[in-house]
Structures are given as structure tokens and as C-alpha cells.
């Protein structure tokens, strides 16, 4: 048979149940309050930073590469974000690529562009690019992006800076233009500054017996154009063979000039037959005639100017000249980095000579 609880036990049990109920009620109220709070009270406002891979992911020295980055918001973020980037390599390098972000400050949500620029002396290597965004209270960094700078052979290109002027000339005349030599990848001509690039017209079309002649200008005392990492120019002169006016003398008519002294001899004979005064007069007259004959001798020759083709005449046509350059080591100009994949050409129209 169970014993009934005493009044004290029943009172203690009741107080315990009341305390438990109060505790459960408080817990339920706190949970409901947390569920009804706004998100900004639960988590800090922030931003996101995402970068796309660089394109292209490999460049030659002087090349560029770029990446687009996206800046988003979290939990109602409304501040500004400052953007920057760094470039590093695991090996010793010189003239590291330069990283720029545009725009440098944004208000999310927004986008920006990261550009990597290399120069001719940038060391061929693999570089790691890191992009950083800094907000009012937080900083985020993207995972490292890779960019490779390729090892390339220094070379040079040739382009026509100024076409030949005039574009049409009669045979026997000429025209001039300007050729531009551009070094790439840090090119320096072997033997600089005493030796350089020798320019020539590698081909002339159409083929004729007496084609136009190409020549190029170089610094005084040199037979080539030195290049040391900076563009250089040379004047192209095209000379067109043609007729030239020359003076040709016909054979001198000395035979007729020899008859001039005869009147003097006759007068000298007459003077000898006369008196003293007569001989003196005739002698003076003879001397006068003799002097006149010497002045008249040059007039007895006949000089007639005429036109003669000394080296032949270039036929009428439009001629095309391909310009090429070769340095002391045998390196030939290459235009593969320009829009034109071949060496440049100039043209000149030749018309009939003016006589």
C-alpha cells in the first residue's frame, strides 16, 4: 500500500513543474525572436569577388592579356570596394608584367577589367596574378591566376612609312619614299653601332632589260642601318634609266683653217717688191691677218648637241619593288607580327621620256 505524499513534498513538486514550464516558455520565446530578426542582424554585410581566367593565358614580350572580374553583394552590402592586383613569379625576373584594374573603385554589384601588359625585356616565365578587393571592413582575394610569357627570338619588321613620290615619272627621272625598320622583342643589330641592316629591292616586276634601280640611305660612313631597340628609317631612291642630252663635237675642219695664212704670204711678197715704207705697211697688215686667223680657228669646228641613251631606256610600265633587309648575322626581316605577312612593296609608274 503506497504512502500518500506529505504536503511539503507536493509543494516542492509543484514548484519544480512551474520552474520547468517557465524555462521552456523562455526558450520558445527566444527562438521565435531569433527567427523574426532581419538578415542583417544575423550576418555581416559583405561583398563577393570572382575573376575569370586570363585571355590569352600566354603572350610574347610586349603582349597583353586581360580578365573580367565581377563584384557582388551579400546581406545588403552598400559600400564601395577598392580593387588592385599583384604579379609574382617563382623565379628571378626582370621588367615584370604590369597589372592594372579599371575602374579601380566600384560600388557593387559591378564589374571591372584587369589588364596585364608586358614589355620587350620581360623575362619569359610563368607569372601568378592575384586580384584583391578591399571594402569598409573586409578584404577578399581571388585564387591565383596563371599567365605565361613566352620565350621568343628578337627580330625586326620592315614597312613602308611613305610611298614613293612622285608615283609616276618619265624615263630618265626618279622618285623617293621612306622605309621604316621596327625592332621587336628587344632586337639589336649585330655589330651595333658600326653595323646594321642592309636594305635592298629583292625583286622588281615585271622583268625588263633596263629596270629601275633601287638605293637606300644610311648614316654617314656606313653601308647599313644600325638598329638598337628603337625604330629607324631609310630613304628609298628609285632611279629610272633614260636618255640624256650630251654634246658631241664633229671632226674639226682643220684643213680649211690652214688656208688662212695664204693671203698673208701674198701680202708679204708684195711688201718685199715695194719700197721701205711699203714693206712696213704690208708687214703690219700681214701680222693683223695672222692674229685673226688664230681667233677664227675654233670657229672652224662644229658642235651639235644631240640625245643619246647611255644605258638604255626603261620601258613604259608600272613596276613593283619588294623591299627586304638582312643583318650581319643573316637574319632576314620578318613581318609576321603585323597585319601583312610578307615584306612590303612599293610601286612606280614609268612613262615615255621627255626629249
Can you tell me the distance from the alpha carbon of 78 to that of 136, in angstroms, rounded to the nearest whole number? 10
pLDDT in tens, 127-154: 999 999 999 999 999 999 999 999 887 8
pLDDT at 94 over 70: yes
Residue identified by cell 579601380 is: 104
**Can you state the angle between helices 261-273 and 276-296, rounded to 10 degrees?**
180
Q: Name the grid cell of 229.
A: 631597340
pLDDT band at 249 (very low <50, low <70, confident <90, very high): very low
Top-confidence residue, 262 or 145: 145
Model pLDDT, residue 231: 94
The verdict on pTM exceeding 0.75 is: no
pLDDT band at 197 (very low <50, low <70, confident <90, very high): very high
Residue 87's nearest CA partner among 77, 79, 95 is 95
Can you tell me the distance from the alpha carbon of 182 to that of 273, in angstroms, rounded to the nearest whole number? 95
Residue 119's nearest CA partner among 55, 60, 188, 66 is 60
Phi/psi of residue 260, nearest 5 degrees: -60, -40
**Mean pLDDT throughout 174-190?**
91
Q: Name the grid cell of 144.
A: 591565383
pLDDT in tens, 200-248: 998 999 999 999 999 999 999 999 999 998 999 999 999 999 886 554 5
Domain map (residue ranges) of the chain? 46-149, 155-244+312-351, 251-278+287-301
Residue identified by cell 620592315 is: 158
- The CATH code that applies to domain 155-244+312-351 is 2.60.40.10
Q: CA separation (Å) from 342 to 137, 214, 333, 339? A: 57, 19, 9, 9
Among the residue ranges 1-15, 36-50, 52-66, 164-178, the one predicted with the least confidence is: 1-15
- Segment of 38-47, 129-138, 239-248, 301-310 carrying the highest mean pLDDT: 129-138
Tell the CATH superfamily of the 46-149 domain.
Immunoglobulins (2.60.40.10)
Q: CA separation (Å) from 344 to 175, 201, 206, 211, 320? A: 17, 10, 17, 19, 10
Can you tell me the distance from the alpha carbon of 352 to that of 344, in angstroms, rounded to the nearest whole number? 27
Coil, strand, or helix at residue 199?
Answer: strand
Among the residue ranges 76-85, 206-215, 297-306, the one predicted with the least confidence is: 297-306
Percent of the chain at pLDDT exceeding 90: 54
Model pLDDT, residue 244: 63
Coil, strand, or helix at residue 316?
Answer: coil
Q: Do 155-244+312-351 and 46-149 have the same topology in CATH? A: yes
Model pLDDT, residue 199: 96
Amino acid at each position: 500500500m503506497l504512502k500518500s505524499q506529505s504536503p511539503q513534498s507536493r509543494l516542492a513538486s509543484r514548484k519544480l513543474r512551474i520552474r520547468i514550464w517557465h524555462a521552456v516558455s523562455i526558450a520558445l520565446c527566444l527562438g521565435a525572436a531569433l527567427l523574426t530578426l532581419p538578415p542583417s542582424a544575423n550576418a555581416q554585410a559583405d561583398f563577393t569577388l570572382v575573376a575569370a581566367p586570363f585571355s590569352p593565358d600566354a603572350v610574347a614580350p610586349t603582349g597583353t592579356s586581360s580578365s573580367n572580374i565581377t563584384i557582388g553583394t551579400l546581406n545588403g552590402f552598400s559600400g564601395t570596394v577598392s580593387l588592385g592586383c599583384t604579379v609574382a613569379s617563382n623565379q628571378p625576373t626582370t621588367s615584370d608584367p604590369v597589372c592594372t584594374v579599371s575602374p579601380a573603385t566600384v560600388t557593387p554589384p559591378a564589374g571591372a577589367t584587369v589588364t596585364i601588359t608586358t614589355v620587350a625585356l620581360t623575362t619569359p616565365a610563368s607569372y601568378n596574378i592575384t586580384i584583391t578587393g578591399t571594402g569598409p571592413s573586409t578584404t577578399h582575394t581571388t585564387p591565383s591566376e596563371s599567365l605565361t610569357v613566352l620565350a621568343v627570338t628578337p627580330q625586326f619588321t620592315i614597312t613602308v612609312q611613305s610611298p614613293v613620290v612622285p608615283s609616276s615619272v618619265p624615263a630618265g627621272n626618279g622618285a623617293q619614299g621612306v622605309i621604316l625598320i621596327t625592332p621587336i622583342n628587344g632586337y639589336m643589330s649585330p655589330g651595333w653601332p658600326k653595323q646594321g641592316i642592309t636594305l635592298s629591292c629583292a625583286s622588281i616586276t615585271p622583268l625588263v632589260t633596263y629596270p629601275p634601280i633601287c638605293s637606300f640611305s644610311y648614316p654617314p660612313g656606313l653601308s647599313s642601318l644600325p638598329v638598337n631597340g628603337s625604330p629607324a628609317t631609310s630613304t628609298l631612291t628609285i632611279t629610272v634609266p633614260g636618255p640624256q642630252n650630251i654634246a658631241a663635237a664633229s671632226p674639226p675642219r682643220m684643213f680649211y683653217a690652214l688656208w688662212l695664212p695664204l693671203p698673208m704670204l701674198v701680202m708679204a711678197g708684195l711688201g718685199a717688191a715695194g719700197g721701205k715704207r711699203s714693206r712696213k705697211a704690208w708687214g703690219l697688215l700681214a701680222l693683223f691677218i695672222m692674229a685673226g686667223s688664230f681667233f677664227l680657228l675654233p670657229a672652224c669646228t662644229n658642235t651639235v648637241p644631240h640625245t643619246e641613251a647611255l644605258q638604255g631606256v626603261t620601258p613604259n610600265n608600272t613596276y613593283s619593288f619588294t623591299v627586304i633587309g638582312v643583318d650581319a648575322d643573316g637574319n632576314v626581316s620578318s613581318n609576321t607580327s603585323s597585319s601583312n605577312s610578307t615584306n612590303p612593296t612599293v610601286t612606280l609608274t614609268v612613262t615615255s621620256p621627255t626629249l
